[in-house]
Amino acid sequence: MSYAIFKAAGQQFRAAKGDTLRVPKIEGEPGSKVAFDEVLLASDGKKVKTGKPTVTGAKVTAEIVRHGKDDKVIIFKFKRRKNYRRKTGHRQQFTEVKITSLRLG
C-alpha cells in the first residue's frame, strides 16, 4: 500500500489514496483541488524514499470536502489564594480534504 507523509501548516500528515484528513484551514471552495508539494517521506509498499528535507518530484493531490470548526478547547488559568481565575475557549478552524492521488517521485 502506497502512502506519503506531507507537511501542511507546520504539521505532518500521513496520506494514502482515498483517505479523508482534517488539515488546518486552507483557502478554497469545497470541490476544488489542492496540492501539497512538501512531501517528507514516500512509500510504494516495497521501497521507502526519504527526503532531505523533501522528496523531489513527489506530490499529494487532494479535493476539499468541507470547512468547519473543531470541538472547543477550554483554557482555565488559576492562582490559588489570589482570587485569580480566567476561563476562555478556542475552536480551531479546519479543512477536510480527501486524497485523490499520490505521486511518489
What's the CA gap between 95 and 31, in Å, rounded? 12
Half-sphere exposure of 61 (CA within 13 A, CB side): 9
Q: pLDDT digit string (tens) for 2-38?
A: 999 999 989 999 999 999 999 999 999 999 999 999 9
**All cell numbers assigned to 19:** 483517505
Cis peptide before 53 (omega within 30 of 0): yes
According to the model, what pLDDT value does residue 65 have? 96
What's the CA gap between 101 and 59, in Å, rounded? 8
Predicted TM-score (pTM) of this structure: 0.81
